[in-house]
Structure 1
Amino acid sequence: MASKPIKVKARQPRGFGDRGAADLRAQDRMIAVIKGVYERYGFEPVETPMFEYTDALGKFLPDSDRPNEGVFSLQDDDEQWLSLRYDLTAPLARHVAENFNDIALPYRSYRAGYVFRNEKPGPGRFRQFMQFDADSVGSPGVSADAEMCMMMADVMEALGIARGDYVIRVNNRKVLDGVLEAIGLGGPENAERRLTVLRALDKLDKFGIAGVHELLGKGRLDESGGKGDFTKGAELETTSIERVLRLFDISGLSAEAVDAHGAGEVRLAKASEAFGDNARVAEGLDELRQISAMCQAAGYDDTRVLIDTSIVRGLEYYTGPVYEAELLFDVTNEKGQKVQFGSVGGGGRYDGLIARFRGEAVPATGFSIGVSRLMTALKNLGRLEESERTGPIVVTVMDRDRLADYQRLTTILRDGLNPKDHTGQYVGPVVPVEMFQGNPKQFGKQLQYADRRNSPLVVIQGGDEKAAGMVQVKDLIEGKRLSAEIEDNATWRASRPAQVTVPEAELLDAVKKILAAQAADGAAGAALPPADA
């Protein structure tokens, strides 16, 4: 007796997700808008592979048996470790270093791609997600950082996020590093403690000043959800904690002071007062003043690009200005609470990253947009809503022996509805057309298929129509509308709703006429502006 074949259980890996046509089309439209902004600033596309040699990534290195946690890795047949990229910046640094003599500096590039994190998945935390980066390599002055901030603001507005619903916050790692140096955490021996302090400061918007005070000290007990998780702190002395927090707490500022000088200028003044005697802090504050002046001169005031010394970017490779795009409108979280949406991207200056390959500093700055998170934000704003997308025109199959005839009709419509210009490029939006490829035995199943695909119309040619040189075109959208109004079968048969019979030579014109009528009725539309808007 033959054994039954073993069935593999269909299951999705944790932290990874399938995505349907609607999401992918919305993503494509969003990326096209972002790409349009990047290209207006003179940035050009580049693509790097998903795998890199693990030591080239820099953040995670292989030990004797396997790479450290954080990346997905495998060993090649030459016993070298390869890892899936965890961001798009480290691969760009490798690409620039490898092609340095062939690249014209400044090298202004953008790229979108999936990145991978070998971390524990959770709600809203995936192991695979898409980023969309723009970088300027070979630009030593902070004017390049100011331009990045302005370009981020332009991206937000191009996507329909109104002024007042977003802000680009800017800080400087020189300020943060100088502060840590001033409290005795300079030098390579304190690298881990510095990261602990930076991670604590990065929780300011989540836990407030009191919570960050705990994280900078012995630690913080999180009793939310009844878990009682304890996070070990940086164990700074109380005087150091209070000094650091002077940089971040502006709760005591009067509204008059902020209105008179601007929130950014007031933050700079407070930082200078607290740590201005440190040379690194002073240098960082001066760069922030330059960025602010350039943005203000170009019309990007504090409501769009804001100097904010509370912004922390945790990656170790940042060496200068850092910035973050934050959305300010409220959303409801999984606990039913109203919270601000928060960050959808960020970046900064990383003048030392390419030096890992070349042994010389190469100035660079750039930012990364979290595509999935930004899409979620646009959905919350209603910017990705659109009426149901029109599916393909379906040419039905009535006779198996006449497949060539049906394919000919399909090609006539496909070519006629999708014209090309003199360069061979398609003009206007694509109108999909397909010949039914399933089992043609039951004609009703073909109409059900067209209905499920949201087809605007179907083309029908039986033997009698073929002999007479005719073809039928059935308007499915109008048919649905009329079917809701007609109650008895006799009336339905008499009306033959939204169905016309025309000579084969007039098929294309008849289809165009029906599609034009559907468009006039508002059958399609999109919330996002076109990429060239």
Structure 2
Amino acid sequence: MAKPQKPTRVRARQPRGFTDRTSADLDAQGEMLATIRRVYETYGFEPVETPMFEYTDALGKFLPDQDRPNAGVFSLEDDDEQWLSLRYDLTAPLARYVAENFETLPKPYRSYRAGYVFRNEKPGPGRFRQFMQFDADIVGAPNVSADAEMAMMMADTMEALGIERGQYVIRVNNRKVLDGILDAIGLEGEPERRLTVLRALDKFDKFGVEGVRLLLGPGRRDEGGGEGDFTKGAELPAEAIERLLSLLKAVTHESDEAEFASRDTSDMRVTIIDGRKHFTDNQATLRGLQRVAGESQTAMEGLAELQQIADACETAGYGSKRILIDSSVVRGLEYYTGPVFEAELLFDVVNERGQKVVFGSVGGGGRYDGLVSRFLSTPVPATGFSIGVSRLQAALKNLGRLQARPRSGPVVVTVMERDRMGDYQLMARQLREALNAPGQPVVPVEVFQGNPKQFGKQLQYADRREAPVAIIQGSDERVAGQVQVKDLAAGKALAAGITDNAEWREARAGQDVFRYAPGDPSEMIAAVRAILARGDAAR
């Protein structure tokens, strides 16, 4: 007779493109989100939450790497044979929310949202299928002064998070400039080819001028020779390619510092050319872009909007070192219609392999005047910005600027007698109520729920949980109306110098006896408070 087969165990494995996060990660993220939220609220933004699922057709054809609404997203069909998709960003759901509540919302409508978004695409290093974004948007604001305010708020957010001036820049461009030049080189009425060009230009930071040149022309093969993946190019003529590349390189460096002797250069960008300092500012960049734009009316309209943004930012005290007009900013999403922005970190760090890593962009956004209007018969202008929370968190961690409040280990009430669990829970309840005043950091208190047979195992558990205090009451203490309170940190320090077991028992390292009655826990509470206060002072 054949032996019965053992049931196959399910292999524990994490889905590719997704990640687990520890309490330390979540605590640090919470501190960061609280800082960002505070900045947003100082600008008058209020929170709103939309569901993770939306009807697929409501998301629209705006995915960064696919122009089909059912590609690049995770989708399912519900009982009504309606296709639903997990949101790929927080902007498209906001557009649907505003359209549904258009008559009741104040206009302009300022809102912020934090939440996870999902991309059904190939995962890789630093590229996840689930990640968090934190967005702020103004819907119903037609003037580019709202875009300027977005850029200012992002600069304030970077500095509130501890990123100093010179370590970040908010780069600003305008899609109208790009659109006008694309029309001028003969791509009017060719949406698919235009999108290919925009995606190629968006790779400038990644591939440089020569990589973009290939993507605008015949195409580019990834590293690895004949085995690398091939990306089909836009197949533009050489003259059109050179005009687009001149757009990317349009930042003009002004003369050396001798010409700026009478001007404050502290908030200008500095470039070293031939060993000499050269200064540039947004006005110089705009002059360079005007030469590239030529006769295109659309491009000139975009440049006029950039001029308004530059003037507003400079007047408000946000110079070129913080907010920079930069023609290389494209943004991959198709729904942008005007100014676009990116928050870029300028410092590099050393990764676990000892390699220097430049973090680059940690957020972006822009004007999307057509997205809400898809649902309505009236034009609805809008602009917004999205921070990539996970990426920014990694950058702040490497910079040493993410200082989450240390999580307190629990006060552990040990179990000496199994049939007295109610007594131990009473002690825990009394400590929770006494130690956790509103508005103060949480002090967790827990009753040991493992096997209580070996008391040493309970103290070992408390040690692994980094518990500051253990509460002990056996039958002798109960009869005497007492409780033992053990300072675990002090006990560890005292025990380090004791080698004899008898001496250790006699010393009762860090352990004292206090009066305790179920109706009067005051001495126990005071003893625990004193130990916690010593621990706080030591930190």
> Does the CA contact (< 8 Å) of 1:60 and 1:68 recur in 2?
no
Distance 1:96 1:469 in 2: 64
Deviation at 1:8, TM superposition (A): 2.2
Cα deviation per residue 1:147-201 (whole Å; 9 max; x = unaligned)?
11111111111111111110000001111111111111122xx111111111111
Distance 1:127 1:262 in 2: 39
1:338 aligns with one of 352, 356, 367: 356
Distance 1:209 1:383 in 2: 33
Q: Secondary structure at the match of 1:485?
A: coil
Distance 1:160 1:121 in 2: 30
> Does the CA contact (< 8 Å) of 1:475 and 1:499 recur in 2?
yes
1:10 corresponds to 2:20: no
Distance 1:22 1:396 in 2: 26
Deviation at 1:360, TM superposition (A): 2.0
Q: Secondary structure at the match of 1:289?
A: helix
Q: Which runs of 5+ in 2 are unaligned?
A: 260-268, 271-277, 517-521
2:216 aligned partner, one-letter code = L
Residue number in structure 2 paired with 1:398: 416
Residue number in structure 2 paired with 1:511: 528
Deviation at 1:500, TM superposition (A): 1.3
Moved over 6 A (4+): 257-261
Deviation larger for 8-17 or 96-105:
8-17
1:28 corresponds to 2:30: yes
Q: Secondary structure at the match of 2:31?
A: helix
Distance 2:325 2:452 in 1: 66
Pick closer, same or farther for the CA change 1:375–1:255 going to 2, 3 Å.
Answer: farther
Residue number in structure 1 paired with 2:266: none
Deviation at 1:441, TM superposition (A): 1.9
Distance 1:272 1:304 in 2: 22
Q: Return the TM-score normalized by structure 2.
A: 0.90
1:520 corresponds to 2:537: yes
Distance 1:27 1:388 in 2: 13
Cα deviation per residue 1:76-117 (whole Å; 9 max; x = unaligned)?
111111111111000000000011111111111111111111
2:60 aligns with one of 46, 58, 61: 58
Distance 1:438 1:339 in 2: 45
Deviation at 1:253, TM superposition (A): 3.6
Distance 2:54 2:220 in 1: 38
Q: Return the TM-score normalized by structure 1.
A: 0.91
Residue number in structure 1 paired with 2:264: none
Distance 2:15 2:172 in 1: 37
1:197 aligned partner, one-letter code = V
Cα deviation per residue 1:393-438 (whole Å; 9 max; x = unaligned)?
111111122111111111110000012xxxxxx2211111111122
> Does the CA contact (< 8 Å) of 1:50 and 1:85 recur in 2?
yes
1:430 corresponds to 2:442: yes
Q: Secondary structure at the match of 1:325?
A: strand
Deviation at 1:3, TM superposition (A): 5.6
Distance 1:59 1:480 in 2: 62
Distance 2:225 2:301 in 1: 44
Residue number in structure 1 paired with 2:291: 273
> Does the CA contact (< 8 Å) of 1:67 and 1:73 recur in 2?
no
1:315 aligns with one of 333, 344, 348: 333
> Does the CA contact (< 8 Å) of 1:60 and 1:71 recur in 2?
no
Cα deviation per residue 1:336-388 (whole Å; 9 max; x = unaligned)?
54342100000000010011100221011001111110111011101235696
Deviation at 1:261, TM superposition (A): 7.2
Residue number in structure 2 paired with 1:527: none
Distance 1:135 1:330 in 2: 30
> Does the CA contact (< 8 Å) of 1:327 and 1:341 recur in 2?
yes
Distance 1:459 1:41 in 2: 48
1:135 aligned partner, one-letter code = D
Q: Secondary structure at the match of 2:248?
A: coil
Residue number in structure 2 paired with 1:529: none
Deviation larger for 345-354 or 496-505:
496-505
2:306 aligns with one of 267, 288, 296: 288
Deviation at 1:228, TM superposition (A): 3.7
Deviation at 1:331, TM superposition (A): 2.6
2:168 aligned partner, one-letter code = Y
> Does the CA contact (< 8 Å) of 2:220 and 2:233 recur in 1?
yes
Deviation larger for 466-475 or 378-387:
378-387
Residue number in structure 2 paired with 1:477: 489
Residue number in structure 1 paired with 2:453: 441
Pick closer, same or farther for the CA change 1:147–1:358 going to 2, 3 Å.
Answer: same
1:109 aligns with one of 108, 111, 114: 111
1:325 aligned partner, one-letter code = A
2:480 aligns with one of 468, 481, 486: 468
Distance 1:268 1:349 in 2: 19
Residue number in structure 1 paired with 2:132: 130
Distance 1:67 1:98 in 2: 21
1:221 aligned partner, one-letter code = R
Residue number in structure 1 paired with 2:89: 87
Deviation at 1:390, TM superposition (A): 2.6
Distance 1:466 1:334 in 2: 53
Deviation at 1:209, TM superposition (A): 1.6
1:50 aligned partner, one-letter code = M
Pick closer, same or farther for the CA change 1:71–1:289 going to 2, 3 Å.
Answer: same
Deviation larger for 455-464 or 333-342:
333-342
Deviation at 1:224, TM superposition (A): 5.0
Q: Secondary structure at the match of 2:392?
A: helix
Q: How does 1:191-340 map to 2 (within 5 A)?
A: 191-223=191-223, 227-250=227-250, 253=253, 256=256, 262-332=280-350, 337-340=355-358
What root-mean-square deviation, in Å, do the aligned CA atoms of Structure 1 and Structure 2 show? 2.1
Distance 2:316 2:57 in 1: 41
1:30 aligned partner, one-letter code = M
Deviation at 1:26, TM superposition (A): 1.1
Deviation larger for 253-262 or 100-109:
253-262
Q: Secondary structure at the match of 1:10?
A: coil
Distance 2:126 2:61 in 1: 23
Pick closer, same or farther for the CA change 1:139–1:103 going to 2, 3 Å.
Answer: same
Residue number in structure 2 paired with 1:186: 188
Distance 1:488 1:2 in 2: 54
